[in-house]
Structure 1
């Protein structure tokens, strides 16, 4: 892009983009559509990928490309993961068959020796080539080809990858979101055999909404066989962002389930596929113990941990007690913490009753409210409590199961 285009983007980056589109006749030498999508794209990636935002000459040709792109944290996590899978070999060769905006390849380029970036959309492919040049990356080759079993050889050409990465488009021809592997584009299930003919290792990025068991089952069922080796659940900013499936040619066996929150900690949770099934959670022994919980820690699992479904494993592995069979909250000793969720200090434990609800509404003017495993929503409970929102106090209403009995309770907590 010309310096004139870049200056226009910077001069108008805080303008109303709808007015820019309506006034396009004022700037006959500027591609207003690209300028507007770039201005809006810069707004979206300012926090998501600040390293790209710092370079004003980058271009973003569509809204979707910046909405769906990886963040710095998730891109670097994938790069770290591939480096581990490649046993730290700096010269490994990677083919990304669905390159998109190219943020993952930007991260991969710091670990890989050479990268083949392919994108089926010509507009995105051209933008990525420009952006890689602006970033000063010299180990990425850009191509623009359709990806199907019949075209894989043409896409790869003489490039012989050690690993192939795919992030299939998760929208159908009408723009509706899809979640099944076979509904994504390209169809990874039909491609799998050809991909393994070309490379020994595959990494597939899926929607965080995809069902883990179903995705693994379907990918394993596709020829050549039961080769999913690792599943990674990745969250940032308190939200589950992506699922990563790693399949290895020739591997046959159970997979390892990994939980990561790379913007909060470098640590990960790695467990066997059946870890949740074989884990027996610990519960409180009796309701009498509730009176002694003041000062204890209440732990609420984060979105990645919840997506992984490791509710019983958390209790067994970490020695924290689960409040209920279907109440995924835990109590631990004072001072305990984990980066894979939120920790609160318990101030009061009260029966869930109209009397206590009225009392709380008089004593506490503002608090965050969460209802768990009860026939009332968090919003409805907030209305009953008549509370304003506050981040300092959090009230949990939940069902608590103990060895001697069960009941519904209110836990007033302070945010740690």
Structure 2
């Protein structure tokens, strides 16, 4: 699995090249394993953004594109590693090995399990390059689970594609099906960490599984990337929801219980205050629509709008913050009075009957610029445009 010095030199020379164009030039490089070279160049392009510390190591070997697409980013892998610590850990669905590698820093005895032999060969090579003492096993996840000794943590990221290669979302459409092996997982470890699709219905998943103590809704720069479910043997406490937004300079975490959210009663905003707030993607995915208002002393615009206002700026709000300059309707007079001179704006709709494209058609506004327009519905059911700038 080692790359020759000649191949590594070729990869470095052509790293910025378009891989499709390079593939067409294969005959010019008869002494180079072009299939491997192109895979490594394509892998390094992804790793540069997704796994920068691995990209910095020229000896790391990359797998096929699908495995690169499916693997966790360095940011989310580091976050997972911060959540746990113990004697032993088994990653039952090792894949490219990113999660296993970073989780390994929190455990003394680590086992990587993967049924695809090519990926296990890559893992053996890369763990050695990274100077990590990780046991690599080429085995089916359920077979290994059945025979393994108990571990402090089991990590599992079930495959979310069906037999035709189509992406799946539901737990029972994944391989392995977590619901089928719950008892076995609980028998083998007091704590199980499960990575699932960000498209999954969280409440349904919590109801479907036993002993879920925590759910981490993980976003990177306000884009929801993955859901992480923590199962603790025998847990009967209410599940904690952690809304995580990892950013370049800091990580926002907002924690709540769904039962508390459901029991909350809110008074809704009777006027548009000076500052407007849009929660980050994890909070919206988690459904903390009411508790976030109470936690930060904000007024919600409408039960279904999920936008918030206040007269005093809330600096530490976990989301985007804006100053409201104007409010208008979409009738021709208001558009003329309030939008004259504005050529472009960033438009967002929240609980509004028209799409962004339809609003652009009505207003003639192009995308971009420093102005932000939120098309939304107020507590009295008025449909309005809030014309804002960043706070």
Quickly name the TM-score band, shorter chain normalised. over 0.9
Displacement of 1:37 in angstroms is 1.7
Number of matched pairs: 388
Displacement of 1:5 in angstroms is 2.0
Does residue 1:335 correspond to 2:313, yes or no? yes
Alpha-carbon separation, structure 2, partners of 1:383 and 1:135:
54
Structure 1 residues 18-49: Cα deviation after superposition (integer angstroms, max 9, x where no partner): 23323334444433222212211111121221
* Residue of structure 2 in register with 1:175 after alignment: 165
2:253 pairs with one of 231, 249, 268: 268
Does residue 1:137 correspond to 2:168, yes or no? no
Q: Contact 2:92/2:145 (CA < 8 Å) preserved in 1? A: no
* Residue of structure 1 in register with 2:268 after alignment: 283
2:201 pairs with one of 198, 207, 211: 211
Alpha-carbon separation, structure 2, partners of 1:65 and 1:29:
27
Give the stretch that moved more between structures: 391-400 or 162-171: 391-400
TM-score, normalised on structure 1?
0.89
Q: Contact 2:326/2:338 (CA < 8 Å) preserved in 1? A: no
2:300 pairs with one of 322, 342, 353: 322
Q: Contact 2:352/2:375 (CA < 8 Å) preserved in 1? A: yes
Q: Contact 1:34/1:60 (CA < 8 Å) preserved in 2? A: no
* Residue of structure 1 in register with 2:119 after alignment: 124
* Residue of structure 2 in register with 1:251 after alignment: 235
1:232 pairs with one of 205, 216, 220: 216
2:373 pairs with one of 388, 391, 395: 395
Does residue 1:24 correspond to 2:21, yes or no? no
1:408 pairs with one of 373, 378, 383: 383
1:370 pairs with one of 317, 328, 348: 348
1:104 pairs with one of 99, 122, 130: 99
* Residue of structure 2 in register with 1:190 after alignment: 180
1:42 pairs with one of 44, 60, 77: 44
Segments of structure 2 that go 5 or more residues without pairing to the other structure are none
Structure 1 residues 332-369: Cα deviation after superposition (integer angstroms, max 9, x where no partner): 23331345211111111223422112334422112111
* Residue of structure 1 in register with 2:276 after alignment: 298
Does residue 1:152 correspond to 2:145, yes or no? yes
Q: Contact 2:328/2:338 (CA < 8 Å) preserved in 1? A: no
Structure 1 residues 349-402: Cα deviation after superposition (integer angstroms, max 9, x where no partner): 22342211233442211211122212100121012111122241101121111x
Alpha-carbon separation, structure 2, partners of 1:126 and 1:240:
31
Alpha-carbon separation, structure 1, partners of 2:252 and 2:339:
40
Q: Contact 1:206/1:242 (CA < 8 Å) preserved in 2? A: yes
Give the stretch that moved more between structures: 179-188 or 337-346: 337-346
Q: Secondary structure at the match of 1:395?
A: strand
TM-score, normalised on structure 2?
0.94
Q: Secondary structure at the match of 1:113?
A: strand
Segments of structure 1 that go 5 or more residues without pairing to the other structure are 84-88, 221-226
Alpha-carbon separation, structure 1, partners of 2:35 and 2:204:
40
Alpha-carbon separation, structure 1, partners of 2:19 and 2:329:
53
Does residue 1:312 correspond to 2:305, yes or no? no
Structure 1 residues 113-160: Cα deviation after superposition (integer angstroms, max 9, x where no partner): 12101112111121122111222222x111111122x44244x3xx54
Give the stretch that moved more between structures: 234-243 or 8-17: 8-17
Q: Contact 1:206/1:243 (CA < 8 Å) preserved in 2? A: yes
1:347 pairs with one of 310, 322, 325: 325
Does residue 1:241 correspond to 2:225, yes or no? yes
